[in-house]
């Protein structure tokens, strides 16, 4: 067991135990047990179709586990399941996270600012005024460097700007946890590096936790505190640790996966 596996004294934000996920009879993954710690970037990694997006859907309570539980944990350690929470508890739990889905879809019939204000209108403080919501939306857009685009149509944004606008929308309710599904997929390396910086800022300046699905291992080495590796063939997790630890002493297939994407200059430094 590595240092990164030891339970931390502070309760985690989310505790996943024995989770199995299936669509009908089709098992996607089973025996998933891990925490999302406070203030960490946890990357979910694995081949296409292994179940990364499906895992996010379970974490946010959109899908019910075939087995096992996903619990949101309070600072005092008490834990709540999203899928069988009372409506009032569910509303509280939902405010603990923001989500950027893989498609990163913004509503094209609304401006960028209106998109970011939407969660505030739907789930925000009941007595907030339109001016307060607009101010909050501007602050979120400023965090991702998009304040000037407040009144823009989503269709006028670049791919990277759209992803950032989706992140601003996920930040609207100021959640302690963000779920980002493939934030840097399809972006050029510079835009992708800017997104990595944003993720690090969200963690370090705001003490947020970020759960990040990614294929982009360069970006994982840059931002992730820990990597959860889902194996498509074995249909379970095969590793959970800091990326450099996995690179040096993870299971062989995980080392191969991580090594493949290292810049060529560093490949020789890693023991086989």
Ligand X SMILES: Nc1ncnc2c1ncn2[C@@H]1O[C@H](COP(=O)(O)OP(=O)(O)OP(=O)(O)O)[C@@H](O)[C@H]1O
> Site residues (CB under 6 A) for ligand X?
23, 28, 46, 48-54, 102
DSSP 155: G
Q: Among residues 52 and 235, whose Cβ is nearest to Mg ion? A: 52
CB 202 within 8 A of CB 209: no
Q: Is the dihedral of CA 99, 240, 232, 272 positive or negative?
A: positive
The minimum distance between CB 69 and ligand X, in angstroms, equals: 19
232 binds Mg ion (CB under 5 A): no
Q: Among residues 70 and 212, whose Cβ is nearest to Mg ion? A: 212
- Would you call 184 helix, strand, or coil by DSSP? coil
Q: Among residues 73 and 187, whose Cβ is nearest to Mg ion? A: 187
Q: Among residues 51 and 175, whose Cβ is nearest to ligand X? A: 51
Among Mg ion, ligand X, none, what does residue 28 contact (CB within 5–8 Å per kind)?
ligand X
CA Rg, the chain, in Å? 19
CB 26 within 8 A of CB 265: no
Among ligand X, Mg ion, none, what does residue 77 contact (CB within 5–8 Å per kind)?
none
- Would you call 5 helix, strand, or coil by DSSP? helix
The minimum distance between CB 131 and ligand X, in angstroms, equals: 39
The minimum distance between CB 214 and ligand X, in angstroms, equals: 9
Among ligand X, Mg ion, none, what does residue 50 contact (CB within 5–8 Å per kind)?
ligand X
Q: Among residues 136 and 235, whose Cβ is nearest to ligand X? A: 235
Q: Among residues 185 and 245, whose Cβ is nearest to ligand X? A: 185
The minimum distance between CB 55 and ligand X, in angstroms, equals: 7
Question: Please, is 210 exposed, middle or buried when counting C-beta atoms within 10 Å of its C-beta (0-12, 13-18, 19+)?
Answer: buried
The minimum distance between CB 212 and Mg ion, in angstroms, equals: 12
CB-closest chain residue to Mg ion? 53
Binding to Mg ion in span 89-108, by CB under 5 A: 102
Measured CA to CA, the distance from residue 99 to residue 80 in angstroms comes to 19
Measured CA to CA, the distance from residue 153 to residue 157 in angstroms comes to 7
The minimum distance between CB 183 and ligand X, in angstroms, equals: 13
Place of tokens 């080495």: 221
CA-based nearest residue to 198, from 214, 217, 219, 226: 219
167: left (phi over 0), alpha (psi -120 to 50) or beta: alpha
53 binds Mg ion (CB under 5 A): yes
Among Mg ion, ligand X, none, what does residue 73 contact (CB within 5–8 Å per kind)?
none
Q: Residue 112 corresponds to which tokens in the numbers above?
A: 């960028």
Chain residues binding Mg ion by CB under 5 A are: 52-53, 102
């Amino acid at each position: 067991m590595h240092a990164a596996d030891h339970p931390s004294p502070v309760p985690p934000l989310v505790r996943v135990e024995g989770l199995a996920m299936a669509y009908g009879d089709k098992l996607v993954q089973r025996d998933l047990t891990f925490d999302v710690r406070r203030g960490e970037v946890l990357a979910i990694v694995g081949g296409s179709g292994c179940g990364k997006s499906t895992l996010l859907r379970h974490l946010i309570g959109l899908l019910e586990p075939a087995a096992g539980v996903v619990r949101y944990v309070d600072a005092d350690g008490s834990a709540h399941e999203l899928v069988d929470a009372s409506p009032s508890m569910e509303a509280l739990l939902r405010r603990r996270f923001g989500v950027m889905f893989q498609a990163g879809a913004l509503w094209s019939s609304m401006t960028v600012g209106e998109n970011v204000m939407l969660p505030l209108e739907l789930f925000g403080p009941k007595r907030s005024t339109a001016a307060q919501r607009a101010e909050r939306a501007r602050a979120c857009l400023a965090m991702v460097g998009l304040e000037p685009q407040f009144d823009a149509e989503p269709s006028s944004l670049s791919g990277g700007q759209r992803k950032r606008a989706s992140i601003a929308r996920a930040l609207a309710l100021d959640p302690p946890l963000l779920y980002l599904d493939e934030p840097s997929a399809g972006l050029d390396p510079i835009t992708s590096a800017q997104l990595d910086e944003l993720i690090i800022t969200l963690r370090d300046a705001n003490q947020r936790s970020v759960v990040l699905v990614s294929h982009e291992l360069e970006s994982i080495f840059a931002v992730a505190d820990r990597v959860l590796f889902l194996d498509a063939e074995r249909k379970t997790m095969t590793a959970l640790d800091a990326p450099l630890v996995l690179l040096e002493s993870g299971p062989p297939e995980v080392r191969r996966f991580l090594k493949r994407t290292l810049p060529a200059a560093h490949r020789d430094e890693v023991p086989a």
